[in-house]
Structures are given as C-alpha cells and as structure tokens.
Amino acid sequence: MIYKNDLKKIIHDTKKIAFTNPKLATDEDALGLIVSNLCQYDGQKIFNVLYRAFEDSNFHSFNSKMEKVWQEDD
C-alpha cells in the first residue's frame, strides 16, 4: 500500500520535528499529533477519525459504547 509508506515517512518526520526526544516518541504519539493538527484540534472531528478507525477494525460494539459516552459528555 503506497499510502502506508507515505504515512510512515510523515510519522517519522513528525517525530523528528515535534518531539524533544524523537527516539522516545512512539508512532502512535506522532499519529495522534498529526490527527489532532489535521482536525484543527476540533474534538468532534478527532472523535470521527477515532470512530472510523475502530469501525474499520470491526470494533462495532465498542464504537456503540464510545458514541454513547461521547454524546453524554457533550
């Protein structure tokens, strides 16, 4: 998958730029930063990305629970 290689490079570059100790930063740390930034730190947009990632991974029942909690918190 071409986009996977591109994303890995973006994650690698983000670790070098955004973290004071890039070696301690995980890919998940960097990806979280990327998602937050791309979503302009909008909680609903970040939630939507998270929801879709879990949907794609077949965590349907978890998503139902997560969506209820999200709506209650709103």
**Residues in CB range of 1: below 8 A, 6 or more apart:** none
Tens-digit pLDDT profile for residues 56-65: 999 999 999 9
- DSSP codes joined into one string, 31-62: HHHHHHHHTTT-HHHHHHHHHHHHHHTT-HHH
Q: Taking the model in full, what pTM does it have?
A: 0.86
Sign of CA dihedral 14, 20, 21, 25: negative
Radius of gyration of the chain (CA): 14
Instruction: Please determine, for residue 2, whether its predicted confidence score (pLDDT) is greater than 80.
Output: no
